[in-house]
Amino acid sequence: MATIRTRNRSREMLLRFAAYLTILVALILTLFPVYWIAANSFKFDIDIFAVPPEWLPRNPTLKHYDEAFVQRPFLRYALNSFLVAIGTTAISVTFGTMAGYALARFRYPWQWRKQISFWILSTRMMPPIVSIIPLYLFFNYFDMLNTKSALIIAYTAFNLPFATWMMKSYFQDLPVELEEAAIVDGDTRWGAFLHVALPLARPGLAATAIFCLIISWNEFLLSLIVTLTEQSQTLPIGIAGRVTQYATYWGEISAAGFMACVPIVIFAFIVQKHLVRGLSLGAVKG
Amino acid sequence: MASVRFDNVTKKFGEFVAVANFNIEIRDKEFLVLLGPSGCGKTTTMRMVAGLEEATSGDIYIDADRVNDVLPKYRDVAMVFQSYALYPHLTVEDNIGYPLKIRKVPPEEYTRRVAEVARRVELETMLKRLPKELSGGQRQRVALARAIVRTPRVFLMDEPLSNLDAKLRTQMRAELKHLQHELQVTTIYVTHDQIEAMTLAHRVAVMNKGVIEQLGTPREIYNDPRTLFVAGFIGSPSMNLIPGEVKDGVFASAGLRVGGAGRFNIPRAVLGVRPEDIHVASAEDPDTNLVAPIYSVELTGENTLVSLQLGGQLLAVRADKNFSGQIDQRVAVRIARDRMFLFDAETERRVDIQSNS
C-alpha cells in the first residue's frame, strides 16, 4: 500500500504562523512611517530627536498644528490640492472612461485598436520631468503660471493614458452580450453604455478615481516649477517649503504630512465598497 | 408579425466568409431553425437580422422593409442570448421591464405587463431578486420573459437551451414550442442540437460552411437528405455512411454488397442507411446483406443499439430491446432497400436511386 500522508496539525499551525508573521512584517514596514509622522506631529521639537526615541508623545501638544494651519497657509494649500485633485480626477475619469470604452468595443480597421492603445500609453513612456520645461513655456505663453487650471491640465495629461487603459481593461472584461442585449431591447449604443456598461464598470471607475486622486494629490515636481504663489501651491510644495535655509521645521512638516494622508484615506474608505468585483458574475452562463 | 427575407446575403470577416450567398424566406409566424455545427454561420445569420452584424453584401428584409441600414432599436426584434445576457445589476423585474422602460411605457402599463409576463413564465415570486440569485432555469425564463414582454415582429433565439441540464432542456423545449404557437410570432432559432431542431421547427435550414445545405420540414430533412452532410448530421445515432463503389447498380465495399442502385456506376460512392433501417435477420434469410461480429451492445431502454464491426468501421444497428447478442458473436443483418441512400463522394450530393431503378 502506498504511503498516505495524513494531516499534520503542527505543520499546518506553523505555516499559518509564518503567514501571519509575514503580514505583520509587511504591516510594520508600511505603517511605521505613518505612525512616526503622527507621533512626531504631537511632540515638542526637542522631543522629536530624543534618544532613546519617545515612542508616544510624553507631553502631547497641538502646537505644530497651530503653526501649520493657523499661522501658516497650509489650509490654503490643502484647499488648492483638493481642488486640483478633484478637477483632475473628474476630467481624467470622464474622458478615460469614454476613451477606454471606445478602445474596448468599437471596430477598427487593421490593427488600429492596438496602435492607438499603444500610442496613448507611449505618451507616458518618457519621464514627466522631460516635459516640464515645454509645459512651463506653454503655461507662460498662455499666462497660466501660478494657476490651479495649469496643474489640472498637466495632471490630466499625465493621468488620462492610465485612466484610459484601466477603463479599457474593465470594459473588455464585461461580456459584450449585455450591451448587445440592451441594443436589441431598443436602446441606443449610448444608452447601452450608460445603462448597462457604466453601472457594471463601477469597480473600475472607483479604482481609476482613487488612482488619479492619489497621483495628483501627491504630485510635487510639476507643481514646484509651475506654481509660486500661495493661491496656487499645493500641499507637497507647502510641506517641502518648511525645509528652509536656516532650519527644518519637523513638527510642522509632520503635522501637515499627517493631515495630508487623511482625505485620501477617507476617500478610499468611501469607494471601497464599489471596488468589490464580481457584480457581473451570474450575468453569463447558467 | 412579419416575414424575414435574405436576398443573396454574404457576410465576411476580413477574408473569412462566414455566410455565403444566403437566400431564404422565413414566413410569417413560422418557426425556423438554423441548424449546423459551430462555425457554420448560423449565429452570424441571426445576428444580421438583429442588426448586431452588418451584411457585407445582399439585402435583408423584414416584411417589405429593407433593414440593412436600420438601427437595431428600430427593427423591433427580440433576442434570447445563449448566455441569457441578463443585466446583473438589475432585479428580475427591471430586467424584464427593460425594453418597456427604453420605450417609455407609462408606469401602470409597465407594472401590468411585467407582472403578466412574469406570471406566464412563473417568476412572479422572484421579481425582486438579482440574476445571480437565480438558478440556470430561472435565468433562462427571465431572458425569455424579457423577449416576450413586448410583442416584437421577430423572435431570435441563439441556442437558448444549451446551458440547461438535460431534464430542464426537454421541459423548456416543450414550453418554447407552446409559447411560439400561442404568441404566433415569427421565430428564428439557432442550434447545433438536431433533436431541438427536429422537435421545434416548422422548417429547418441545415447550414454548413456558410451555406444552406438543405431547407425543409424536419420530416423532409430526416427522410430525404439531399447531401452527405445533412445525412450525417441529422439523426441520433447518426446515419451509417459506408464508402465503397457502385458497379451496375450494386454497391460493394469490404464485406458488404447491396443491390438495388438502378444501373448506376459510381467509382467513389457512399452508402447511407439509418440504424433503424437495418434489421437483425437470421443467416438463412436470402435477403441478408451482411454477417458481422458484434463490437458493442448498448441497451437504451426502448431499444438496443448494436455496433457491428464492418471492415475498418462500425455499423450501428437499432435492434429490439430484447436483443440478446453478445460481443464478438456474429449476427446477420438485412438493409431495408427502400430506405437506403446513395451519395456520390465527389459531389457529396445524393444520387436518386429510387426513381431510376
Looking at residue B316, which CATH number applies to its domain? Answer: 2.40.50.140
pLDDT at position A7, please? 77
What is the dotted CATH code of the domain comprising A64-275?
Answer: 1.10.3720.10
- Round to whole Å and give the CA distance between A185 and B102: 8
Instruction: Give residue A283's pLDDT.
Output: 42
Which helix (H) or strand (E) segment holds residue B94: the answer is helix B92-102
Contacts of A174 in chain B (CB under 8 A): none
Q: What is the rounded CA–CA span in Å between residue A95 and residue A85?
A: 15
Percent of chain B clearing pLDDT 90 (strictly above): 52
Range with lowest mean pLDDT among A199-208, A276-285, B129-138, B326-335 = A276-285
Smallest CA-to-CA distance from B303 within B279, B331, B287, B339 is with B279
* Contact check, Cβ <8 Å, B88/A281: yes
Q: What is the tens place of the pLDDT at every residue in A10-53? A: 888 999 999 999 999 999 999 999 999 999 999 998 888 888 88
Same domain, B267 and B139: no
Query: Among B201, B229, B257, which residue terminates a domain?
Result: B229
Half-sphere exposure for B307 (CA within 13 Å, toward CB): 12
Q: Per the CB < 8 Å rule, is B79 touching A184?
A: yes
Q: Are residues B203 and B292 in the same domain?
A: no
Rounded to whole angstroms, the Cα distance separating B137 from A18 reads: 46
Please state the rounded mean pLDDT for residues B265-289.
85
Which residue, among A56, A60, A69, A57, has the nearest Cα to A256 in the 3D structure? A69
Cβ–Cβ of A177/B140 closer than 8 Å?
A: no
Chain A residues within 8 angstroms (CB to CB) of chain B = 175, 177-178, 180-188, 191, 195-196, 199-200, 279-286
pLDDT of residue B25 exceeding 60, the answer is yes
Inter-residue contact B187 to B155 (CB < 8 Å): yes
- Among B194, B229, B264, give the residue marking a domain's end: B229
Interface probe for B, chosen from A112, A185, A198, A284 (most Cβ of B below 10 Å), is A185
Q: Which residue of B has its CA nearest to A178?
A: B85
Residues of A in contact with B79 (CB under 8 A): 180-181, 184
- CA of B87, closest CA in chain A: separation in Å? 6
Structural contact between residues A69 and A75, judged by C-beta atoms closer than 8 angstroms: yes
Regarding whether B334 and B246 lie in a shared domain, the answer is yes
Give the pTM.
0.81
- A80 pLDDT above the threshold of 90: yes
User: Do A186 and B102 lie within an 8 Å CB cutoff?
Assistant: yes
Return the C-alpha cell found at B68: 440593412
C-alpha B201, offset from chain centre = 8
- CA-based nearest residue in chain A for residue B90: A196
Kindly report which listed range (A143-147, B92-96, B247-251, B352-356) carries the lowest average pLDDT score. B352-356
Identify any residues that bridge with B242 across adjacent strands, giving them in sequence order.
Answer: B271
Count CB neighbours of A123 within 10 A. Answer: 12
- pLDDT bin (cut points 50, 70, 90) of residue B1 is low
Residues 6 or more apart whose CB falls under 8 angstroms from that of B311 comprise: B253, B254, B255, B256
Q: Verify whether the Cβ–Cβ distance B52 to A180 is below 8 Å.
A: yes
What is the pLDDT at residue A78? Answer: 92
B113 in A contact zone (CB under 8 Å)? no
Residue A279: what pLDDT? 43
Which ranges constitute the DSSP H helices of chain A? 9-41, 45-48, 63-65, 74-105, 112-122, 132-141, 148-173, 176-184, 189-192, 198-200, 202-218, 221-226, 235-240, 250-275
Q: Exposed/middle/buried for A6, CB within 10 Å: 0-12, 13-18, 19+?
A: exposed
pLDDT tens digits, residue range A129-183? 888 889 999 999 999 999 999 999 999 999 999 999 999 999 998 999 999 999 9
Instruction: Examine residue B282 and state whether it is found in any structural domain, yes or no.
Output: yes
Domain match, B216 and B305 both:
no
How close is the nearest chain A Cα to the Cα of B160, in Å? 11
Best A112, A174, A177, A184 member to test B by mutation, with max B CBs in 10 Å, is A184
Size of the A and B interface in Cβ pairs below 8 Å: 88
Same domain, B48 and B189: yes
Cross-chain Cβ contact A200/B79 below 8 Å? no
pLDDT at A38: 92
Distance of CA B187 to the CA centre of its chain: 14
A272 has a pLDDT exceeding 80: no
pLDDT score at A195: 93
Contact B85 A186 (CB under 8 A): no
- Choice among A51-55, A68-72, A282-286, B283-287 with the minimum mean pLDDT: A282-286
Within this chain, do residues B176 and B323 fall inside the same structural domain, yes or no? no
Across the range B59-64, mean pLDDT stands at 92
CB contact under 8 A, B88 and A186: no
Does residue B61 sit at the A interface (CB-CB below 8 Å)? no
- Residues of chain A contacting B71 with CB distance shorter than 8 Å: 188
Query: What's the mean per-residue pLDDT of chain B?
Result: 89
Which candidate from B52, B85, B135 shows the least CB-CB separation from A284?
B85
Q: Which whole number is the average pLDDT over B294-323?
A: 90
What's A195's DSSP letter?
I
More confident residue, B178 or A271: B178
Examine residue B357 and state whether it is found in any structural domain, yes or no: no
Nearest to A181 among B85, B134, B135 (CB): B85
pLDDT digits (tens, 9 = 90+) for B123-150: 889 899 999 899 888 998 999 999 989 8
| Residues of chain B contacting A285 with CB distance shorter than 8 Å | 83, 163
Q: Which three cell numbers stand for residue B336?
A: 431495408
Rounded Cα gap, residues A147 and A229, in angstroms: 9
Alpha carbon distance A187, A198 (integer Å): 14
Q: What local confidence, expressed as pLDDT, does residue A286 receive? A: 35
Query: Quick check: is B16 in a domain?
Result: yes
Q: Does residue B292 belong to any structural domain of this protein?
A: yes
Q: Same structural domain for residues B289 and B178?
A: no
Burial bucket for residue B6 (CB in 10 Å: 0-12, 13-18, 19+): buried
Cell numbers at A94, concatenated: 470622464
Contacts of A282 in chain B (CB under 8 A): 86, 88, 130-134, 139
| Cβ within 8 Å, pair B163-A285 | yes
CB contacts under 8 A, B 185-244 vs A, are: none
How far apart are the C-alpha atoms of B168 and B172, rounded to whole Å?
A: 6
Mean pLDDT of B297-308: 91
What's the domain range around B276? 237-351
| Burial of residue A94, with CB atoms counted within 10 A of its CB: 0-12 exposed, 13-18 middle, 19 or more buried | middle
Going by pLDDT thresholds of 50, 70 and 90, the confidence category of residue A3 is confident
> How many Å lie between the alpha carbon of A186 and the closest alpha carbon of chain B?
4
Q: How many other C-beta atoms are found inside a 10 Å radius of the C-beta of residue B295?
A: 16
State the best of B89, B101, B130 to mutate against chain A, taking most chain A CBs within 10 Å: B89
- What confidence category does residue A8 fall into, taking pLDDT thresholds of 50, 70 and 90? confident
**Same structural domain, B204 and B257:** no
**Cβ–Cβ below 8 Å for B81 and A282:** no
Distance CA B6, CA B34 (A): 13
DSSP at B114: H
pLDDT at A92 over 90: yes
Q: Would the CB atoms of B52 and A280 count as touching at under 8 Å? A: no
Residues of A in contact with B86 (CB under 8 A): 181, 282-283
Cell of A173: 472584461
Residues B265 and B195 placed together within one structural domain of the fold: no
Percent of chain B predicted with pLDDT > 70: 98
**Closest CB to B73 among A175, A186, A199:** A186
Helix H, strand E, coil C: the string for A98-115 is HHHHHHHHCCCCCCHHHH
Which residues of chain B make contact with A192, given a CB cutoff of 8 A? Answer: none
Do B161 and B223 fall within a single domain? yes
Quick check: A180 and B78 CB within 8 A?
no
- Lowest-confidence range among A103-112, A162-171, B193-202? A103-112
Which of the pair, A86 or B291, is modelled with greater confidence?
A86
Residues 6+ apart with CB under 8 A from B288: B281, B282, B332, B333, B334
Query: Peptide bond before A52: cis, by omega within 30 degrees of 0?
Result: yes
Contact B102 A184 (CB under 8 A): no
CA B88 – CA B82 distance, rounded (Å): 15
pLDDT mean over B228-257: 87
Q: Would you state the pLDDT for residue A192?
A: 93
Whole-angstrom CA distances from B80 to A44, A181, B45, B139, B156 are: 71, 8, 15, 11, 6
Residue B74 lies inside a defined structural domain of this protein: yes
Omega into B237 within 30° of 0, i.e. cis?
yes
Has residue B149 been placed in a domain?
Answer: yes
Q: Looking at B229, B259, B294, which one is the last position of a domain? A: B229
pLDDT at B261: 67
3-class state of residue A270 by DSSP: helix
Nearest CB to A283; choose among B79, B131, B133: B131
Same domain, yes or no, for B91 and B115? yes
Average pLDDT over residues B4-21: 91
- Domains: count for chain B: 2
How far does A201 lie from chain B, in Å, by closest CA? 11
Of A177, A188, A195, the CB nearest to B81: A177
Q: Supply the pLDDT for residue A1.
A: 57
Q: What is the pLDDT of residue A285?
A: 39
CATH 1.10.3720.10 location in chain A: 64-275
pLDDT attached to residue B286: 77
The three cell numbers locating residue A276? 468589490
Which tens digit of pLDDT belongs to each residue from B62-112? 998 899 999 998 999 999 998 899 999 999 999 999 999 999 999 999 999
List the single residue in B with minimal CA-CA distance to A179.
Answer: B85
**ipTM of the prediction:** 0.83
Instruction: Check whether residue B255 and residue B217 sit in a common domain.
Output: no
**Residue B295 contacts A where some CB pair is shorter than 8 Å:** no
Confidence of residue B357 (pLDDT cuts 50, 70, 90): very low
Given a cut of 70, whether residue A282 has pLDDT beyond it is no
Phi and psi dihedrals of B272, rounded to 5?
A: -115, 130
